[in-house]
Amino acid sequence: MSIAINVAHISETGFSSAEIALTYDSTKLQYISVSSGSVSTSTANTVKLADYGSYKNMGNAYLINFTAISQGSTSVTLSSAAFGTSASAAEMTFPRRQLSHRQ
């Protein structure tokens, strides 16, 4: 199972730093990998992605991969996300933004 993280902004065309946290039910899913960036923390129910210095265009920026480990329905929740345009942005130095879900 793959989860796409799409990034959009009204006036920016790209970003150079990101911090993303996802929560999930670890009795149903197991985190496998992310398409780019690095996972700074992976605990039983949370994956925290950190990506600094690599410019990305807005759009489909990340693909997070999980495998099902038991039957049943579940969800993956985007619990926090922050993005910056400075390639030298240090961890946790940019403001948090409101999350929105679009289908």
- State mean pLDDT over 58-83: 88
Domain ranges for the chain, please list them: 2-74
Q: Mention every residue, 6+ apart, whose C-beta is less than 8 A from residue 11.
A: none
What 3-state DSSP class applies to 9? coil
Condensed to tens digits (0 to 9), the pLDDT of residues 38-66 reads 666 667 799 988 887 777 777 778 888 99
Q: Is 14 helix (H, G, I), strand (E, B) or coil?
A: strand
Return the percentage of the chain with pLDDT > 70, whole number.
Answer: 77
Tell me if the pTM is above 0.85: no
